[in-house]
Structure 1
């Protein structure tokens, strides 16, 4: 693993680059992209991402392989000398893949790595008519309680039925007016790489605050056991929906003044490493667990899970 120096408050981007590097599927897809005809390369985010990931994995990387990538983001309005939100920058980068890659099939391959397909289910509580809408997201944003919580509970809360009343009533075409409704989400498909965003920042009385509450998460997660009721009837359950954690984005400090680091599982030896800008050291699963939360501690902000595959030669072995 290669450390990345903090250049113009770049800890957020440095951390995301470490997670992209640990997500070897992204690098493999970008390596198939013929960039010979790409113009304005200094403004093309996927081109610069391809170059920096290749440099980070080489035997003799440049001293600062990420500088061109940082300047490229700056030209696309993700400014230097500015603190950013890691989940927002992550989604910006994935969106730039769709906008700026001239090979659209490969761009869709990258999107499909992270694509979570959902069905929104809305039932009128007066006439029982049902409306559905299919959509997708690239990051699963989960509400965090102010007391002790777990990843399983956060996900269960996301997929629970919610009643919409009062100002939250929705228009019912059959009743031809706004009526109380019951809303829920159903899973249509899960991606190879599942990105979970723990919503630790809240607006309270006009100020943004950070929740340091404890959220526990496992090294492996089985959807087929934990969220059976979240599956749509159309969800093909022919596979085991088991996932293994391979990267954790950590936020330290306050909402208005913080620092990002990352724990990532090495692609080859499957060991955990801790990356704090230019400093990289080997870590343990117990170290990763220290990011569950608590006051004055670095807290997990984004979790990256990879779906287990029996056909995949890179099937991970869990650390002790």
Structure 2
């Protein structure tokens, strides 16, 4: 599985920690940005899926800053977020520029909270990323709920509003969440129905000798619904042929892309990994395909790429 993370107006490269002094000398101290650290994470038995994602997230500066700010708040009961904050703080406060850190506390907490990761088997990096971001959002929303129930907001103000059924968005949503519009146009009456849905990452199909830009173009391709897949049109009150497409309505601050490298092969009766070459540009322009004038084109800079080398 691969995950591409990009963020507007910021780019950084994640390197693995090795021999700190030798690596720093070879690269040259002038190559290191001020106050930046490059640390590898110790593997505790096939935990590379976790380590690689944590390193990628560390170099997403808006995310890192929010996690470190959480660390500075009054101590809360231990959770996956407090363990992540401790790990990020440990990296950020190191005296050396490069090195290795064991994320033992985080891995222990992860295995305790989710039995899927409570083993020494290889796991899916994309599944871990989704679990981590959603868990952090849940923790923040629960803390917000508790603060509201106590009648006091984080800024010290008294909350006199009624509790809403919809949870408030968190800084996880502010950083990673975008919005898609699923449009279906009936070819008989031309009526367009649309439905919005939020996303924290986009999963895109891959082909041989392709690029991220090409994959994203394919993501928004129009699909014709016909034969047994006809669309039930509420206006026509019958099944009709239709055009369907997915468009990005709102772009996120940080875009996480998941390349769908596993495809079900009918002749093999199983999923096969697609080891296709995919070109990653250092800069990626996402065009606003929704027609929303408030959502201009956005240039993203490459922050990190997570790539698994192997058959599984």
Return the alpha-carbon distance in structure 1 between the equivalents of residues 186 and 136 of structure 2: 39
Q: CA, structure 1 residues 232+107, in 2 after alignment: closer, same or farther (shift >3 Å)?
A: closer
Task: Give the alignment partner of residue 120 of structure 1, picking from 182, 185, 210.
Answer: 182
Return the alpha-carbon distance in structure 2 between the equivalents of residues 103 and 54 of structure 1: 23
2:132 is the counterpart of 1:93: yes
Aligned to 2:107: 70
2:51 is the counterpart of 1:51: no
2:262 is the counterpart of 1:201: yes
The superposition leaves residues 261-284 of structure 1 with CA deviations (integer Å, 9 ceiling, x where unpaired) of xxxxxxxxxxxxxxxxxxxxxxxx
Return the alpha-carbon distance in structure 2 between the equivalents of residues 63 and 143 of structure 1: 35
Return the alpha-carbon distance in structure 2 between the equivalents of residues 199 and 74 of structure 1: 26
Shift in Å at residue 50 of structure 1?
Answer: 1.2
Q: Which has the higher contact order (CA 8 A, sep 6+)?
A: 2
Q: CA, structure 1 residues 47+129, in 2 after alignment: closer, same or farther (shift >3 Å)?
A: same
Aligned to 1:160: 221
Q: CA, structure 1 residues 65+58, in 2 after alignment: closer, same or farther (shift >3 Å)?
A: farther
Aligned to 1:83: 122
Return the alpha-carbon distance in structure 2 between the equivalents of residues 222 and 63 of structure 1: 35
Corresponding pairs, count: 245
Shift in Å at residue 190 of structure 1?
Answer: 1.1
Contact 2:68 2:88 in 1 (8 A): no
Aligned to 2:191: 129
The superposition leaves residues 172-227 of structure 1 with CA deviations (integer Å, 9 ceiling, x where unpaired) of 2122233322111222221121111111111223322111122212111122xxx4
Shift in Å at residue 107 of structure 1?
Answer: 6.4
Q: CA, structure 1 residues 103+211, in 2 after alignment: closer, same or farther (shift >3 Å)?
A: same
Task: Give the alignment partner of residue 236 of structure 1, picking from 289, 294, 304.
Answer: 294
TM-score (norm 1): 0.70
Return the alpha-carbon distance in structure 2 between the equivalents of residues 18 and 36 of structure 1: 25
Equivalent residue runs for 1:283-294 within 5 Å? none
The superposition leaves residues 14-60 of structure 1 with CA deviations (integer Å, 9 ceiling, x where unpaired) of 10111111112112112333654633x1xx22221111111122215
2:100 is the counterpart of 1:38: no
TM-score (norm 2): 0.72
Aligned to 1:220: 283
Q: CA, structure 1 residues 31+217, in 2 after alignment: closer, same or farther (shift >3 Å)?
A: closer
Shift in Å at residue 13 of structure 1?
Answer: 0.3
Return the alpha-carbon distance in structure 2 between the equivalents of residues 37 and 245 of structure 1: 34
3-state SS of paired residue (2:305):
strand
Contact 1:48 1:69 in 2 (8 A): yes
3-state SS of paired residue (1:253):
coil
Return the alpha-carbon distance in structure 2 between the equivalents of residues 93 and 169 of structure 1: 38
Q: CA, structure 1 residues 67+107, in 2 after alignment: closer, same or farther (shift >3 Å)?
A: farther
Return the alpha-carbon distance in structure 1 between the equivalents of residues 305 and 40 of structure 2: 16
Contact 2:176 2:252 in 1 (8 A): yes
Task: Give the alignment partner of residue 234 of structure 2, picking from 141, 153, 173.
Answer: 173
Q: Which segments of 5 or more consecutive residues in structure 1 lack a partner in the other structure?
A: 256-320
3-state SS of paired residue (2:41):
coil
Q: Which segments of 5 or more consecutive residues in structure 2 lack a partner in the other structure?
A: 1-37, 146-153, 155-167
User: What value does the CA root-mean-square deviation take over the aligned residues?
Assistant: 2.3
Rg comparison, structure with higher value: 2
